[in-house]
Every structure is written in C-alpha cells, then in structure tokens.
A and B are shown apart, each in its own frame.
Chain A
Amino acid sequence: MTVTTSSNAAEPGLASPAGPAAEGLPGAGATAPGTTAPTAPGGDGTAAHPGTATGASDAPGTVAEAPAPAVRTLTLAKTINESLRRAMREDSRVVLMGEDVGQLGGVFRVTDGLLKEFGPERVMDTPLAESGIVGTAIGLALRGYRPVVEIQFDGFTYPAFDQIVSQLAKMPSRSHGHVKLPVVLRIPFAGGIGSVEHHSESLEAYFAHTPGLKVLTPANHADAYWMLQQAIRSDDPVIFLEPKRRYWDKAELDTTAEPVPMTGARVVTTGTDCTLVAYGPMVKLCLESAAAAAEEGRSLEVVDLRSVSPLDVETVAASVRRTGRLVVVHEANTFVGLGAEIAAAVTERCFYSLEAPVLRVGGYHTPYPPARLEGQYLPNLDRVLDAVDRALAF
C-alpha cells in the first residue's frame, strides 16, 4: 500500500474510535480542555477528570491563544509538538508522561508549552523510572486514558523493556482482545548528534520482532504530524521512533492537509536502476544519494518504509520489480537487523526480478561508537553509492 491515498485514515478531529472505557462517556474525544468537565474516563464516574486543574497558574483553558495559521514553517520538534497539542485538544483522555516533559518541555523541547496549556494532570513529569513510566501508562490505559509516553533517549528505553515486550505487547492477546492498550511510546532514536553513550541507539529491530507492537518512524514533517495523530488514535500500542538528528530541520507543515495513514510505505522518488529502501533518519541520506547518483546518470528509486511493523513489503517488492536491484539502508547494525527481513521478504517475492543480491548498508557489529567515530560507523553518501555500484556490477 502506498500513502498517496488516505484509504484507512481516520479523520483527525473526529472523535476517537471508542475504546473499552469510552463507552457511555459523554464529552470524551472532542471536549476542549477547561470548557466543560466531562465525566471521568473510567466509566464509573469515580476517577478525577484528567483535565481538572490543581494549580491555578497552570489551569487548563486559561491560555488565550490566537489560532495558528494552517501552513507554517516549523522544525520537526515543533511539528511533533503541534501534533501533540492537537491530539490533546481533541481528546481529553490523552495524557503525556515522561521525564522532564513538563516545565522543561522535554530535553528536545518537543513538549514545550503543553504543561502550560493542559496542566499537570495531563502533562506529567514522572519520577525517573522508565519501567515505572511504561508500567503505569499501561495501568492508565486500562482505565481508559490514552497515554503518550516520552522516553528521554533511546538508550534509556531498555530499563522498560520487560514492561514493553512482556506486558504492553501481550496483554491484549492475553485478554482475548478484551483489553486494548492505546499507549504511544515516543522515543528520540538513532545517532548523528555527537552525543555520549546510550544516546544514539537504534531499537527498531527489538520492537519489530515483538508481536503486538506497531513500530513507526516518520522521515518528514507531514508524516510526523499525521502519523502521530493516528498513533494516538490507534487502539494498539505504538512505538513512535523520532529521528532525533532531524529535530532541528525546518519544513512547511499544513495542518489542514489531507491526513496520511499511519502505516504503509511510500515511493519518495522514482528511478529505474536500483531501489534504495530506508526509514527515519536515513531517508534523507538516500534522497541525497539518489541526487548524487543522478549526476552520474544513475536513476535510483527511494522507498520510505514509514512503518517498520507492520512492514509494507509489497510496495518495496513492486519497486524492485521495476528496478531489479535493492539496497537497504539503516543505522542499526546489519546482523539480524531490519535489512535482513527485507532482503528475505523481497527475495521470496521477486526472485526472478532481481539482477543482484539484496545488499545492506548499516552499522557494524559493534556497540554504537563514541561520538568521534560515529562518522565512520554511520551510513553515508559514499557507502550508499558504493553499495549501489556493487549492485549494478552484478
């Protein structure tokens, strides 16, 4: 499936699909915070409403905001911020949690200003405990809330690993579908920002390997904005991997545009000689590679996966049938990485169309190195073009 048509997109702005606790819930979904006090999301009317202000200065609804223009040039971080704001305005059950997400606005400022607008009941600075954060998000989801969790950096997701893979991913099937866990974990991921240890990890394969989780990673502003809307609206747990090295990139965002669906790959540029497949931070590199290759008369097609799980293999296979060659590019080390899955899946589908083995460009089988070596570790233009050369040499 490609995303040029929004076949499965629920319209942002409409009420969320009713979760288990949303039944009989007047006001849930579309109540502007602070205007009315809708009934408790728990369904039995006993829980305090999340929008109830405790501190007068942080009272939701006291901030008078002029409506923002529909088309603006924003950084990716600000784009995600706008997406969160919209989701929170549209559904009072959406709550944010994480370390430093409140007053600081997150270490990347992605949640900047949201505490001010929605108050501490909906923007929660949590204790410094990732297992605790994800575990309590599960509990809040069981109670009818829709928690959006920020894990501060990729490398600090691991302390929550058990809650994510054993609980968040499995509770819905364990309950034969009686339980839905609409939890989004937002994780700034991957490298390229010259940081210290544990701040540049690529986790996608761990979570894609886990049934029950959806794993998304947007590569551009519009996707980040709309995919996050869909993820928050989704009744499934979603791991939302934000390419942190793109946080400061600026682009135009149209908040009135046709929403794009949450999953499904997209052909970003068409070409005839070789397909490059990437996701998240590597899409931009592949587009640059395609532009560089074009100068040498080579025509590369670039496919952005957008969603790592579910994986839209058919869009990739269709591209390979056109070009006959495939190079998969990701930052994570290649061994047992996503590239291996794509290579196998494409080989099964289009063995007779392939002119060359599927090649991978990725990290080495080493821990993510210290910052001064990340330039050697990360895929770059030379390495991508070298792989294309090798594919074309067959």
Chain B
Amino acid sequence: MTVDSAAGAPTAPAPHSEGDLVPEDFPSVQPPGGHPDYVQLLTPEGRRVEHPGYSVDLSHDEYRSLYRDMVLTRRFDAEGTALARQGELALWASLAGQEAAQIGSGRALRADDHVFPTYREHGVAWCRGMDPLSLFGLFRGVTHGGWDPKERNFHLYTLVIGAQTLHATGYAMGVAKDGADSAVVAYFGDGATSQGDVAEAFNFASVYNAPVVFFCQNNHYAISESIEHQTRVPLFQRASGYGFPGVRVDGNDVLACLAVTKAALEHARSGGGPVLVEAVTYRMGPHTTTDDPTRYRTSAEEDEWRRKDPIDRYRTWLLDAGLADQAFCDEVDAEAEELARRVRVGVRQMPDPEPTAMFDHVHAEGHALVEEQRAGFVEYHAGFADATPATAAGSGEGR
C-alpha cells in the first residue's frame, strides 16, 4: 500500500472537494481477483491466495508464532469458560472463533500504539504482553479492571457497549496534537455499531483526522440479535458516509487480518486519518457463559462456521508449506496446557480484595465523605472482631 507521504504530521484535512471523500490511496474498494466479499489471503481449506491490495511477508518464526498465539489464546479462553462453569468466575466472554481477527490485528500493532478494547479482546491483550491472569479479575468479581493501561498501552475493558470508541478517538486526537506517529485501535462488535457513541466517534475521528483504526469484529451476533437487527448496510461501507475508508476482511484469516490492519495503521500514522476495518468472523460459543444460544441459532450454522475455523486452516497451511511440523504443533499444545494450568491455579488462588478496597481510588485527591465512611466501616467491623456489640454512635451509616 502506498501512503501519501506528503501528508506529514496529522493536521485537520483540507476541505474535501466532491469526489475525494474517500482517500484514493487506501485499497478499500474490493479489487478484482480476490475473494468477492472480503480481503482474504488464506482460504478456509488452508490454501494461500494472493490479493492485489494486500500482502504479508513474514519470517518463518513469525509465521509460526501467529499459530502459537492463536492456540494459546484459544486454550486460556477455554479455561475461562470452564472456570465459569465451575462457579469460579461470575461469567466469561469467550473469543472462541475470533482468534485470527484478534491475533492478526494485535500483531500488526507497534509497541507505541494504543488499544481500546471491549470485553472480549483476550487475544489482543495477549499480543500486548498482558498476563492473561490479569484479565480474569473482572470476571471473577474481584476488580472492575485493575491494570495500568499505560504499562502495555492496553486500556481497560469496557462493558458499556461502544463507549471506548470515543475514548480511542480522543486519545488519537491527542496523539495527533502531539505530532507523534503512534496509532490507536478501537475494538468493538457489530452490535456496537448501532450505538450513538460509535457514530459520534466515526464523525469526530473524521473531522479531526485522528489516527484511529476502528476494528469491528462482526461476529454476527449481539447476544441473541443477529447482524440483521443492527444494520441493512455492510458495516465497512459506513465509513464512506463519514469520509474515510472502510475495508472488509476475512476475520478468520489471520494473514489477511494482519495485512489489512497493518495497512490501516500505517495510513493512520502517516496522516491519512481513520480507517474502519470490518473483520467478518463468528462467535462460536455463547455470548457469555450465562447465555443460551440454542434459543436463537442453529447448529447447522455453527457447523458451517466450524469449517471456517481460523486455527485449523492456518495449521493446514503451515504444515503444507513446510513452515512447521507436527512436533512443533505438539509443542504448542503442551505449552497451551501449561498456560491453562497456570490460569486455573491462578484464578482459584485469586484473593478477594480487602473490604476497605472499595473506598480506595474513588477520588484521586480524596473526599471527606468517603474517608468518613471508610473510618465508620472499619470501626463497625472491628466491633464484630471482638464480639462486642457495636456502639450506638459507631457505624457511620448514612453520614
């Protein structure tokens, strides 16, 4: 992909003239020859195909590590589902089926790029070097997040659908103001595209030419609601209405996801403004472990998507191309088991927070009422410790 290098540091773009609303330099329009519906570099059967707009050129080690990333992510994610079923987690939002979208896009990022995830981006977190265990605290109910977003440039999981797309856009506006050449990625689902916040994020990003990539994993469902409940228009086409490029990619093809995201990031970083990537994928399991997908979808549909599995097709290609052998795959499986064990033990040993932790960090600079209530709370519970009845004035209730 060529990027208009004259664009330089991101500034507000010149007013558009008729006809150039979508930058010409971004291969967003599906070119002839590729998959008719989306960018694809690896077929479901594991056959490599070429695409005139996008290519990948990785070392053998890098090709192998994409496989490792996907297998390990799938494994600790499956452990999350198992732990939820065992009552160790309140719930778990599984990414099963979406490994290629997350690892492909996650591996396209540079260390100085920033990620604003929703709550299902365990694979992206893995790519950022997050310890998978740190993702489990929220689902176990010991924290609402807990990690420092600045450590890995991986921001907090966001449960309010779509809210983070505005944060990502604002962050990207700041990056542009600073003249830095980092890029920002906002992750969200197909359902989220219905939220006003997401529409507003698209518009702000466009108006301020912010270096943000909107990475939508269209996994076909928002809990029970199929994509038809959210839109009549292919999602990637939304971008053109806001004046930036949109591209649709086979979200179960890790190579295509990597190539498309890399191009989008470079476009954003070099002053081209936002890009919308729609990764077409499928949520194989329930929405979360509290959901029952048999109420709204058929096993035939699930089977059809199982045949497009991102890991199977990639393994087939790796083995066929001689980039890996069975011994390597076995090694990765063993490593995955070890990771799952570490997660299982780690989650079970995760301590409950100190009760007074709920009074911490409510305000950056403290707050008299919170401190008064903390003191009352401590005094009240100390009363239980020596089994003497709480004193009349002691508990701080309601003050």
Contacts and interface: CB of A to CB of B under 8 A. Distances in A.
Interface residues of B, number: 53
B345 interface: no
A268 interface: no
Given A107-B223, A196-B90, A367 B362 contact: yes
B295 A104 contact: yes
Contact of B159 (A100, A105, A125, A196): A196
A42 to B, nearest CB: 24
B194 A373 contact: no
A351 interface: no
Contacts of A159: 160, 195-197
A335 interface: yes
B141 A100 contact: no
Contact of A364 (B138, B353, B359): B359
Interface string B159-193: 11100000000000000000000000000000110
B355 interface: yes
B398 interface: yes
A81 B292 CA distance: 19
Given A390-B392, A393-B392, A371 B141 contact: yes
A366 B90 contact: no
Interface residues of A, number: 49
B345 to A, nearest CB: 18
B223 A104 contact: yes
B390 A366 contact: no
B370 A365 contact: yes
Interface string B219-231: 0001111000111
A304 to B, nearest CB: 20
Given A132-B194, A339-B398, A373-B358, A196 B91 contact: yes
A52 to B, nearest CB: 20
A364 B373 contact: yes
Contacts of A371: 90, 140-141
Interface string B345-368: 000000011010111001000010
Contacts of A71: none
A376 interface: yes
Interface stretch (A43-51, A62-70, A239-247, A381-389): A381-389
A262 interface: no
Interface string B191-206: 1101111000000000
Most chain B CB inside 10 Å of its own CB: which residue of A99, A196, A367 = A196
26 contacts: A100-B224, A104-B224, A105-B295, A107-B290, A127-B194, A128-B195, A132-B194, A159-B160, A159-B195, A194-B141, A196-B141, A197-B159, A362-B398, A364-B373, A365-B362, A366-B362, A366-B373, A367-B144, A370-B142, A371-B140, A373-B353, A373-B355, A373-B358, A386-B395, A386-B397, A394-B392
Given A99-B223, A365-B369, A372-B352, 10 more contacts: A100-B224, A104-B223, A105-B295, A196-B91, A339-B398, A361-B398, A367-B362, A370-B144, A373-B352, A376-B358
